Structure 1
Amino acid sequence: MVGMQEELPADFGPHAYESAAYDGASGADAVLAGLDPEQRAVATALHGPVCVLAGAGTGKTRAITHRIAYGVRSGVYQPQQVLAVTFTARAAGEMRGRLRQLGAEGVQARTFHSAALRQLQYFWPRAIGGEVPRLLERKVQLVAEAAGRSGLRVQRTELRDLTSEIEWAKVTQIVPDDYPAAVAKTSREAPRDPAEIAKVYATYEQTKRDRGVIDFEDVLLLTAAILEDRPEIAERVRAQYRHFTVDEYQDVSPLQQRLLDRWTEGGASLCVVGDASQTIYSFTGATPDYLLNFRTRHPEATVVKLVRDYRSTPQVVHLANGLLAKARGQAAQHRLELISQREAGPEPVYLEYTDEPTEAESTAARIKALLGQGVRASEIAVLFRTNGQSEVYEQALADLGVSYQLKGAERFFERPEVRDAVMLLRGAARAGDDPLTDGAPDLAGQTRAVLATRGFTPEPPAGSGTVRERWESLAALVRLAEEFAAARAKAGLPTDLAAYVTELDARAAAQHAPAVEGVTLASLHAAKGLEWDAVFLVGLTEGTLPIIYAKTDEQVEEERRLLYVGVTRARVHLTLSWALSRSPGGRASRKPTRFLDGLRPGSGSAGPRAKGGKGGVEYGAERPAGRKARGPVKCRVCDRTLTEAVERKLRRCESCPSSMDEALYDQLRGWRMAQAREQAVPAYVIFTDATLMAIAEDVPRSERELALIPGVGAMKLDKYGAAVLSLCAGEPPTDSTTDQADEASDVPFAVDDDPVDVPGEFDELA
């Protein structure tokens, strides 16, 4: 035992706090300064059990960090005997920083996995013997191997879903043999036959044992098992940690609760903090039951409710409360009615659009206006239900020169299915006579043939969100191939796979620019725990929110809570929008989400637009300056309604005669090439071929006429308009673009490196 103590890490072991010297209650009362009555009640409740029910924006982190600091500075807690547990390394790091500022250095703030891993590494030699098994940081490759060994052919797009199912089973403590019954009992939609998944699960576990590796769920399982099987080790841990605080307790899984029970046995003080109305991770195994039943398990517990909202204006809080007022289920019975502590602000704005591109462009224009009013880009967010919705907003912001960063989602060309697709297309282009593309006469057909091997089908799938998102990514590549081929054919340029792959490489390269401050694009799940001055909640239609595969009442209620999380991210400005159709000219068959019924003006009990500046639904909302309103576009030759992207840009049918000024087109392309070289960007960043063709076909004579051509947005009009009009007038281009050469010609992009904040997903040691 003595020998082992000499090897204890600095933050673990009885000796760790012996050198700490604190001057009793000196300065302790200063920690309580600035707390409201409820936060102060939390901070002074030093002996557990304590349950803090904290609504969004009510200062829960402030309350629990001040509680820990007050306990340390008053001498009630020894800092090394305190363990604060949360779900992400980012949250743990923030907590440690706050505790240091409050004079409570030495307190451990870690994720569940980080705390368990340190204990496992320390006690493994004594409890098991030998080296700790190697930690498997990524399961996907081993799951793929297990599927193969189980005799199953699994597409790459299914691997993430299979991996998620295995993780769910492990955190809910379901063994492979019991998995099919558990799926049936919980009405869970498995990505494929439960018996097949159970077989892969069992093979995966056996493969890990054969390789001598463990995964992140094993870290919790093994630590809990050691504490259960070895009483002397359990006593060592309980002697070390006497005070536990668990943040985001509504997201705890059965496996995490099992470990927490082992930690706190023997009289350790426990404080839990959570909000059942923010339970949005049940698909990972999280459950609010432990929070909601805490008083039942601990009848002597002190319960404090935090409802003073310091984040959002009364207008935003009113909408948030209204959302929960219509909720059902156990979590709804324990909802907290928030009370805003801020001054009044603008009413939430509700916007209805004809199609998704219009919604995205208008959102980008509103963001541009906020930037002009002094709101920082980093204080603005666009939040959507699925990552597949991001691309149209990336493009809309890029068109206006607004920098952005993606959080919890990958940029389009960074998505695994896109990288895989581009690799396959490159291989087919090199092969030349690839059998996959035999019989496909055009580029789009060849692209479809190649992508069919990765799950692309002519019609979208009806399944889970993951499958649909990946299909959308592949469909975008097919549409891009169609547009690229049409534009190249008109210019008399090659339209083969090699040329298309070169275009894809150029587009991908253009996205890798220096990381700068930008507007945040994020899924609603990834936005949990964050906040911004202005939030745009987009794509709020039935089938998207609630998501189409939310079948049961509880699944639908979780979707409502997801929208509640989105609403409560906003401090001041909140915009909620939806589009009636996906594409311009499409059938307006979509409906706004049911969750806004009775809340948005004109829907149910909300009645007409209220007096006194209340928000209302705006139809045909504002669009970027100089843009022609979307809708049915007619051919300027035969008056037929156009549907293809290139035809809409040219404003004529592909078969209708062209009036293009060939000499002007050549001049425009030469000028564009010079600009691209000078600014070190791909040529299409200046203008696409289709836009140059449209200019040469319908030669503009003024800025107003130039602005009407699709592809010429306000930013490009300001930057290149004078030069283009000079060329159209038969004059040399002006030097206006040269004067702007030092400006950022390409849109600055930034990728947030933080991992997705999914409870139970171990990202790094805290």
Structure 2
Amino acid sequence: MSGNQPEISTFQPRPAQKKILEYRDGKMGISAVPGSGKTHTLAALAAQLVATGLQDDDQEVLIVTLVNSAVNNFGSRINDFIQARGLLPNVGYRVRTLHGLAHDIVRERPGLVGLANDFTIVDDRDAREILTGAVDTWVRGHPDFAERYLAPDLEGSKREWVQRAQWPHLVQDMAAAFIRQAKDMELDPDALRFRLGDAADELPLVRMGLDIYTDYQRGLNYRGGVDFSDLIRLALMALRLDEEFLARLRHRWPFILEDEAQDSSELQEKILRQLSGPDGNWVRVGDPNQAIYNTFTTADPRFLRDFLREPDVRPRDLLASGRSQQAIIDLANYLVDWTVQKHPTPSARSAFLQQHIEPTLPGDPQPNPPENRSAVHLFDRQLTPEAELEAVVDSVARWLPENQDKTVAVLVPRNKRGEGVSDALRARDIPYVELLQSTTTTRLAAGALGNVLAALAEPTNSKQLAKVFQVWRRRDKDDKETWARVKALSKRIRKLRDVERFLWPGIKDDPLEGLEIADESDPLSDLSLLAEFRQTMRRWQEASTLPVDQLILTLGQELFDDPANLALAHKLAVVLRAAADAHPNWRLPELTAELTSVARNQRRFIGLSDEDTGFDPEAHKGKVVVATMHKAKGLEWDRVYLTAVNNYTFPSAQSHDSYIAERWYIRDQLNMEAEIMAQLDSLLSDDVLPYSEGQATRDARLDYVRERLRLLYVGITRAKRDLVITWNTGRRQKPLQPAVPFIALHAYWEERK
């Protein structure tokens, strides 16, 4: 959400926006730069079409956008425009994500695609559990399969550890990509099995993917549900199967407006083409230079690029942006020009559409901030990750006190790095908010509860009991001397040989046996502390027979006293109760794992962030927003720190680069997700050359290089006034280098000085 948009009553369209608002019918494609007001313009166009373009009362303008938060944002803006025209709000339009639209279509005619009227949608969490079960079954049934791909220099215990702890996760990643792509190609397991035929030996990864896909679909069918990928596939099927149904929907939605079209997938495009028809009214808006989700989804910016070149499409652009000061605009434009003209890897030069951000004209209601070239800093100094973190936090600490009325963000490549930034800010008492998969408060609360649940699930585990002791006394962390005592006692608890005797001693038992607490040098307070802890654990063990939600609430009441953490405990209790209801066979170990995934920032905890309702940086002035670069898309801040711009985060297909998708334990640096997709393509397409191992990995590197260039562009264009870019050497034995585009930007900036 941009904080720099005009009020509806003062909206004065720029010349390019006026051209778009002249739209009446047909196909139009709009390429919009960051901060150009594309969402505002599209909302104004939607309101205009509601007021003047609908012929019947049952018709609506259909707006399709990328994420749920944008649905609310769009609806609010359209309502404002509609009410300014004197019309009723919430009438004459429908805003949906692709999943929401697919649900509307399928829900109207479920029988058409073989579903019952009461079909259910299996959410991401349950779908992941089904997939995990299918993968575990397959891995156990094929214990030797990993040997085909593991690096030959893995030996002994390390090789066993990889097969036990790493290989199943990789298989799950491969299977998830395979299933997602198969469904995007509209292929069910039976159709794939027919195509595979006798080629199973030649395409072993496809055989693996098909086995897991079959088991996964069986799990969905057992629950009488569909996943989100099925929903989209079935929506398209319904449109193709019933021409009368399709005609009715075309009448209902005579205008289709698509936002964030650079992130459109093949199935999304097919659905919208069906709904608009060959001569329909379809407006697509996006920025091909901000397509940053290819790695995680089936999205591809080529769909928008190709659409813009179609002969019956009127191309338009939105190039004027009032977001950033001129120096930041110059830097972003140079990144585009350098990439297109000079990138050392020729295949990477297609990453960008060569369009420039232009500042707004004098008199524009959204003027650019004053130009200040000294507010752009590209630090080429070699820093370790710890030194980079310290330098960024030091800079924030100097800047923030005198800029309490401004916004600031630290953008990181991954959630784990964001945790480190948050911890460093908290240690310096610098206020911050997080746009990560989960917040620090959530992670700490979930971690505390998770450690207690783990101890209750393994009541004889002394190591887990020692962790709980520290959780129980975590308020002592602020006192170094007291915390040292707590850690010393925790170490002794960890060495206990008989936890049951310690917690539940018999009449003749010495409860302190094994703790070595009899030493006269230990103060009496240690004895009373251990006795109190024993009573607490006994009380918690007695409560462990309660339903999991009541258990969490009971623990929360004892562990937390501030309202925020108590509220979190309540929400976590609701989540775990839902998980227990969905999985009747789950016991404390499985429920503990669910909490652990939140505590380790591996899963977004829905309902505890602004993501579903929209995040507004303007609401957090005087605080540091810690966000991943992906989460920052669509947002803006006065000051932005762009961190870890090295050749691992932003590789350039150079010999010294490394890639996150190439696991260290896989031979020949193969990208296994890319290889399984290449085998699938080889099976299905007559135009694709026979599968050649390794080629897909090389192609995936280039795709990733292009996407990361666009991610760097997105990061730069989040800044309005100040921009600081840093890099670090990483933690590998061989130090990382500054990213090639960083080197180019730094050289350009030094010349401009």
Shared fold per TM-score greater than 0.5: yes
- Residue 552 (structure 1) aligns with: 701
1:103 and 2:86 aligned: no
1:430 and 2:459 aligned: yes
1:60 and 2:46 aligned: no
- Residue 63 (structure 2) aligns with: 84
Q: State the distance in 2 between where 1:349 and 1:292 align.
A: 33
- What displacement does 1:223 show? 1.4
- Residue 263 (structure 1) aligns with: 275
- Residue 522 (structure 2) aligns with: none
2:356 counterpart (337, 362, 378): 337
Provide closer, same or farther for how the CA distance between residues 94 and 430 of structure 1 changes in structure 2, counting only shifts above 3 A. Answer: same
Provide closer, same or farther for how the CA distance between residues 114 and 419 of structure 1 changes in structure 2, counting only shifts above 3 A. Answer: farther
Q: State the distance in 1 between where 2:459 and 2:410 align.
A: 40
Q: Deviations along 1:507-536, whole A, 9 cap, x unmatched?
A: 999994999944221111111111111111
Q: State the distance in 2 between where 1:432 and 1:71 align.
A: 66
1:594 and 2:740 aligned: yes
1:371 and 2:400 aligned: yes
- Residue 289 (structure 2) aligns with: 277
Q: CA RMSD in A?
A: 4.3
Q: Secondary structure at the match of 1:578?
A: coil
Equivalent residues of 2:102, 2:232 under 8 A apart: yes
Q: Deviations along 1:76-118, whole A, 9 cap, x unmatched?
A: 6768421010011111211111111101632111111112212
1:396 counterpart (421, 424, 436): 424
Equivalent position amino acid for 1:599 in 2: L
1:340-739 aligned within 5 A: 340-341=359-360, 342=368, 343-345=370-372, 346-351=374-379, 352=381, 354-376=383-405, 379-411=407-439, 422=451, 426=455, 430-432=459-461, 487=484, 494-497=491-494, 512=565, 517=620, 518-546=623-651, 548-549=659-660, 552-580=701-729, 582=731, 589-600=735-746, 603=747, 607=750, 610-611=752-753
- What displacement does 1:314 show? 0.8
Q: State the distance in 1 between where 2:230 and 2:40 align.
A: 32
Equivalent position amino acid for 2:42 in 1: I
Equivalent residues of 1:180, 1:194 under 8 A apart: no
Q: State the distance in 2 between where 1:349 and 1:588 align.
A: 27
Equivalent residues of 1:380, 1:535 under 8 A apart: yes
Provide closer, same or farther for how the CA distance between residues 526 and 171 of structure 1 changes in structure 2, counting only shifts above 3 A. Answer: farther
2:302 counterpart (266, 289, 293): 289
- What displacement does 1:150 show? 3.5
Equivalent residues of 1:276, 1:331 under 8 A apart: no
Provide closer, same or farther for how the CA distance between residues 157 and 426 of structure 1 changes in structure 2, counting only shifts above 3 A. Answer: farther
1:2-41 aligned within 5 A: 34-41=12-19
Q: State the distance in 2 between where 1:182 and 1:539 align.
A: 45
- Between 1 and 2, higher relative CO (CA 8 Å, sep ≥ 6) is seen in 2
- Residue 134 (structure 2) aligns with: 146
- What displacement does 1:495 show? 4.4
Q: State the distance in 1 between where 2:131 and 2:441 align.
A: 25
- Residue 746 (structure 1) aligns with: none
- Residue 207 (structure 1) aligns with: 219
Provide closer, same or farther for how the CA distance between residues 361 and 484 of structure 1 changes in structure 2, counting only shifts above 3 A. Answer: farther
Q: State the distance in 1 between where 2:263 and 2:487 align.
A: 56
- What displacement does 1:409 show? 1.9
Equivalent position amino acid for 1:111 in 2: T
Provide closer, same or farther for how the CA distance between residues 131 and 179 of structure 1 changes in structure 2, counting only shifts above 3 A. Answer: closer
Q: Secondary structure at the match of 2:356?
A: coil
Q: Secondary structure at the match of 1:270?
A: strand
Q: Deviations along 1:42-81, whole A, 9 cap, x unmatched?
A: 1112212000010111111122112222233345676842
Unmatched segments (≥5 aa) in structure 1: 1-29, 184-189, 438-442, 445-479, 612-766
1:50 counterpart (9, 24, 28): 28
Equivalent position amino acid for 2:356 in 1: E
Provide closer, same or farther for how the CA distance between residues 126 and 484 of structure 1 changes in structure 2, counting only shifts above 3 A. Answer: farther
Q: State the distance in 2 between where 1:181 and 1:566 align.
A: 46
1:249 counterpart (255, 261, 264): 261
Q: State the distance in 1 between where 2:116 and 2:138 align.
A: 31
Provide closer, same or farther for how the CA distance between residues 420 and 179 of structure 1 changes in structure 2, counting only shifts above 3 A. Answer: farther
TM-score when scaled to structure 1?
A: 0.60
Q: State the distance in 1 between where 2:447 and 2:482 align.
A: 19
Provide closer, same or farther for how the CA distance between residues 486 and 67 of structure 1 changes in structure 2, counting only shifts above 3 A. Answer: closer
Q: State the distance in 1 between where 2:659 and 2:559 align.
A: 32
Q: State the distance in 2 between where 1:412 and 1:127 align.
A: 44
Amino-acid identity (%): 23
Equivalent residues of 1:413, 1:508 under 8 A apart: no
Q: Secondary structure at the match of 2:437?
A: coil
1:319 counterpart (296, 319, 331): 331
Unmatched segments (≥5 aa) in structure 2: 1-7, 84-88, 142-163, 197-202, 341-347, 361-367, 468-476, 497-529, 538-554, 568-607, 609-618, 652-657, 662-699
Q: State the distance in 2 between where 1:131 and 1:389 align.
A: 45
Q: Secondary structure at the match of 1:382?
A: strand
- What displacement does 1:125 show? 5.1
Q: State the distance in 2 between where 1:410 and 1:484 align.
A: 32
Equivalent position amino acid for 2:659 in 1: I
Q: State the distance in 1 between where 2:133 and 2:421 align.
A: 37
Provide closer, same or farther for how the CA distance between residues 389 and 179 of structure 1 changes in structure 2, counting only shifts above 3 A. Answer: farther
Equivalent residues of 1:172, 1:285 under 8 A apart: no
Q: State the distance in 1 between where 2:441 and 2:195 align.
A: 37
- Residue 309 (structure 1) aligns with: 321
TM-score when scaled to structure 2?
A: 0.61
1:119 counterpart (105, 108, 120): 105
Provide closer, same or farther for how the CA distance between residues 117 and 573 of structure 1 changes in structure 2, counting only shifts above 3 A. Answer: same
